[in-house]
Structure 1
Amino acid sequence: MKKLAFLFLAFIGLGIQAKAQHDPSDQIMSTNWDVIGSVDFKTVKETEMYAIFNNEIKKYANKPFELEGYIVPIKDGMKQTKFMLSTLPINQCFYCGKNGVPIMVQVDLVEPVKFTYQTIKVKGILKLSTANAMDQPPVSLVSGKVL
């Protein structure tokens, strides 16, 4: 789980400061991604970081929420039920040396989806976690379905 939290924090936390070098036509931009991107973080110590949720994102908590984005697998396999959803394709990820850091959320689907390099649209219940963001992603879509 710490790997997952690190991935999330790397993508959302550092994304604010990173200078993107991506193909702008690939980036997914929407009002809902703007809501997700409004999350701030407070670092308590090197091993503790907590999300700060503003009123805009709080009004969507525990309600249906839709996002379109790219699958970033967290486990091997062609079919995915738990993955990160990103505003940029995986081939433009920061760790590949081709890009800045995109915003991401964890997605838990009811039924698996086949991995694709194309965007997918998912709908699930938006969950906000106040736990240490080093242990679990603060923003997730649960009970999700691909639209």
Structure 2
Amino acid sequence: MKLKLIVILALLTCRAVIAKGQAPTHVPLMDDTWRLIAQKKYVKNAQYKMVPAFPQRLQDMENQVIELSGYIIPLKAEMEYTNFMLAVVPYDQCAYCGQGDIPSMIEVYAKRAVGASDRPVRMRGKLVLNRTGDKRSEIFLLEAEIKK
């Protein structure tokens, strides 16, 4: 009887520890555009430099105005931003961006300052792809504004 009680308490303790260790839930934001962004790969160019290669459907969207939902990932410690990263997962999970099926973050340049938020926002702006392999972001959303 005593052994049975100890086993039950141990199982309940393990369950509580596992539940606390799980990543917090978030609003699922994956849509067709984020899925295209997740298909980005890297290839060697003529100078043997690794550069991003984008799926054709994403290339077809370049320089067009698109809408994309995501979480604001600040680049500076401020309360409002005109330049920030947009991710499909919240800040506390952005270490996983670009891994597995979670797409890379994109860099946003907003027309007007956007307030800090831990909730998803819907942005509208011009999609620009950077194929150079330089140290800048690979995907940009320019002249962006929050879509309400």
- Per the normalisation by structure 1, the TM-score is 0.73
The amino acid across from 1:139 in the alignment is I
Contact 2:75–2:84, Cα closer than 8 Å, also in 1? yes
Distance in 1 (alpha carbons) for counterparts of 2:133 and 2:94: 24
- Aligned partner of 2:10 in structure 1 is none
Distance in 2 (alpha carbons) for counterparts of 1:53 and 1:93: 21
- Aligned partner of 1:141 in structure 2 is 141
Equivalent pairs counted in the alignment come to 118
Structure with the bigger RCO (C-alpha within 8 Å, sep 6+) is 1
SS of 1:28's partner is coil
1:86 positional shift: 0.3
Gaps of 5+ in 2: 1-21
Q: 5 Å matches for 1:26-105?
A: 26-42=27-43, 48-94=49-95, 100-101=96-97, 102-103=102-103, 104-105=105-106
- Aligned partner of 1:132 in structure 2 is 133
Q: Greater Rg, structure 1 or structure 2?
A: 2
In angstroms, what is the RMSD of aligned CA positions? 1.8
Q: Percent same amino acid among aligned pairs? A: 25
1:138 positional shift: 1.2
Contact 1:38–1:57, Cα closer than 8 Å, also in 2? no
Contact 1:108–1:141, Cα closer than 8 Å, also in 2? yes
For residues 104-144 of structure 1, the C-alpha deviation after alignment (integer angstroms, 9 at most, x for no partner) is 111100000101000000010000111224x1111110010
Q: Which is further off, 21-30 or 54-63?
A: 21-30
Distance in 2 (alpha carbons) for counterparts of 1:125 and 1:39: 18
Q: Which is further off, 116-125 or 52-61?
A: 52-61
- Per the normalisation by structure 2, the TM-score is 0.72
- Aligned partner of 1:97 in structure 2 is none
